[in-house]
Structure 1
């Protein structure tokens, strides 16, 4: 990514991601004994689970802790230690390096990092003490979680891009676009990681969706549970894949907004940075669609395909906006057609097949139109965003 002295976007984005990685390390630590040394007396008196209260407080105060440290007031807070494993633990225990990186950022970019860190930390804290073995409550709850952990990243990146002149300033106000960019990626990860999250005891598939495909076991008296999707009977009956396809169809609804966001960017390096994960996501949804292996392990795209996507999205291989737009649109067209073909093959047994087919048809129509405009004009698609 570009890194001009007056607009150090590479440094800003790097620090932004490292800070959020540190925050996420605290949030991901499910060993609540790690928070023992951060429990306060009021936690023991007023909160049933003192460790959870300590974890919530650390998440909510993470941005303030960072801000105080940058201003030379690190002694206001107990140092962070003992969270995560491997490189993540090393990151947490070397926060001084992050503080230095923050200190050399221009104030406007530093504030973006602090604002997003605070919003994400407070949002994450709201899910700490919840029983998530059976996922989030409904579509609204699920989307709120996706916003806090991923949509906020889209917000922060857009504010950084706009501050440095790499996208129109008004793109910052279009939440429906940058929020979709983050949510599409997060939804894809949650869909792919069904089994891993279930084992961890913190799942995210919304109850309002999975309950449509899971029935109560009258013989054994078992109530409805998200884990039932992994049962061989559910998989063999097609209920599990129908639920999976429903989740994917919901995610595909966001593709149009993602494409509009990408079209508004006006620097090849920034386009590459943003388009690569989006293309990886649509390719992942293609391989996951109607695939019962999602309920038996982690499904990933082939390494060769991943390498091809990275080359197609590389600004070193394709240094113009025109080429990059052509490449990411071609991948969206290809993967969406794959999903549409699978949906049509599943039409006799999947209640979401027609809906998925229709969504894919709309995406393909938009993408084909954009590709035709590129071909006919020989110029990049419009570089300004408007309502």
Structure 2
């Protein structure tokens, strides 16, 4: 079926169950978000679904850069509670989705009016945090889509900026939501805010490294050229037919940088009150699974697909159990994280200089 052959099936419900939509678009967050206390669980689930809608627009290969810009602009206005009815937006976007998109992603777009209805039912301060996150994502992602190329991003600064727009800003949003939920957490706002970008960036860098080959098959490369050039490798020469150790050296350098972000994210978690074990588990499970993925990437830089470095279900269960039990104990957490990240190279990242640079759109 071509994207233009699809029809928008009516029936998106205002009473949509976010919990039913979530597992289809993220297995990881379907595990971690239920650990959050209410009302955080509702607002964070809604925030993640909004981000996935923005990602779906970005990832649809049949849309031109101009079409993606238009859909992102319209979506941003809708989230802010202005402009056209959400049902009209969904009816325009749904037929444009190709079969490269999963049935769950298409269902998310079909149910978009219900997701937006929940957004608009949230308290004003929570809505403002979500609106800011979506606005920044929808500002940055189209710029990178228009300028994407198989030869990679220009340098490590552009790489960090890309990670900010697609994930670092989510760390900032979560910090705002956590501070609104708890006065005790709000007392740490400045220190948390300084580390929040690393929380999202570490997870995103891990995903970029894991998905290098899948992205390349879609005509994209989000790796920084200068990191690989220092080892004598040009990303435009990347080939599945031949492994170059210089490419592997570049991957390991980025593993070290992602590890640095995850270390900052662990410090972020330890600033949260030990009694808030649900919020800590939400953060910790994602960080620990990213560290284990980095281990597999570092041990096998000649991988050819994300499935080769994906952690097993057994490892996921063990991670959830061990980090879940240690969530309120900082000394045990440090030891567990050291175990999860054992053998990884480490490059420290100063969060205060990983700042967002505005792009011209």
TM range, smaller chain: 0.7 to 0.9
State whether structure 2 residue 288 is matched by structure 1 residue 279: yes
Aligned residue among 154, 164, 185 for 2:181:
164
State the partner residue of 2:48: 17
Higher relative contact order by CA 8 Å / sep ≥ 6: 1 or 2?
Answer: 2
Residues 152, 235 of structure 2: 8 Å contact kept: no
Determine the C-alpha separation between the residues in 2 that align with 1:2 and 1:303: 22
Confirm or deny that 1:177 pairs with 2:186. Answer: no
> Are the equivalent residues in 1 in contact too, given 2:203–2:262 (CA < 8 A)?
no
Quote the offset at 1:173 in angstroms.
Answer: 6.5
| Residues 247, 77 of structure 1: alpha-carbon distance in 2 compared, 3 angstrom cutoff | closer
1:252 aligned to which of 244, 256, 259: 259
Q: Which has the larger radius of gyration?
A: 1
When the two structures are superposed, what TM-score results if normalisation uses the length of structure 1? 0.72
In structure 2, which of residues 206, 216, 224 is the aligned counterpart of residue 206 of structure 1?
224
CA contact (8 A) 1:147 1:179 kept: yes
Give the one of 133, 138, 153 matched to 1:136: 153
Task: Name the structure 2 match of 1:57.
Answer: 70
Following TM superposition, by how much is the alpha carbon of 1:89 offset from its aligned partner in structure 2, in angstroms? 0.9
Measure the CA separation in 1 of the matches of 2:105 and 2:214: 19
Deviation at 1:14, TM superposition (A): 0.9
Q: Which stretches in structure 2 are left out of the alignment for 5+ residues?
A: 1-34, 350-361
Aligned pair partner of 2:140 in 123, 132, 143: 123
CA displacement at 1:109 relative to structure 2: 0.6
Matched, 1:305 2:315: yes
Question: Normalising to structure 2: TM-score of the pair?
Answer: 0.77
Note the aligned Cα RMSD (angstroms).
2.6
Contact 1:283 1:301 in 2 (8 A): yes
| Counterparts of 1:170 and 1:57, CA distance in 2 | 38
Q: Evaluate the alpha carbon distance shift between residue 290 and residue 242 of structure 1 in structure 2; reply closer, same or farther with a 3 A threshold.
A: farther
The corresponding residue for 2:79 is 66
Equivalences for 1:1-387 in 2 at 5 Å? 1-4=35-38, 8-32=39-63, 51-68=64-81, 74=86, 79=91, 80-82=93-95, 83=97, 84-165=101-182, 167-171=185-189, 174-215=192-233, 224-228=234-238, 230-232=240-242, 234=244, 238-266=245-273, 267-295=276-304, 298=307, 299-314=309-324, 318=325, 321-322=328-329, 325-339=330-344, 356=345, 359=346
Q: Deviations over 1:43-91 (max 9, x none)?
A: xxxxxxxx4212112213322122336x995588674323343111111
Q: Do the aligned residues in 2 keep the contact of 1:168 with 1:265 (CA within 8 Å)?
A: no
How many aligned positions are there?
306
Structure 1 residue 309 displacement after superposition: 0.1
Contact 1:112–1:156 under 8 Å retained in 2? yes
Deviation (angstroms), 1:9: 1.0
Q: What is the CA distance between 1:127 and its match in structure 2? A: 1.1
CA deviation profile, 1:253-274 (whole Å, cap 9, x unmatched): 2243212201111210000001
1:209-252 deviation line (CA, Å, top 9, x unaligned): 1223345xxxxxxxx44452644252xxx223212211112222
Q: Mark the CA change 1:327 to 1:190 in structure 2 (over 3 Å): closer, same or farther.
A: farther
Residue 167 of structure 1 aligns to a residue whose secondary structure is helix
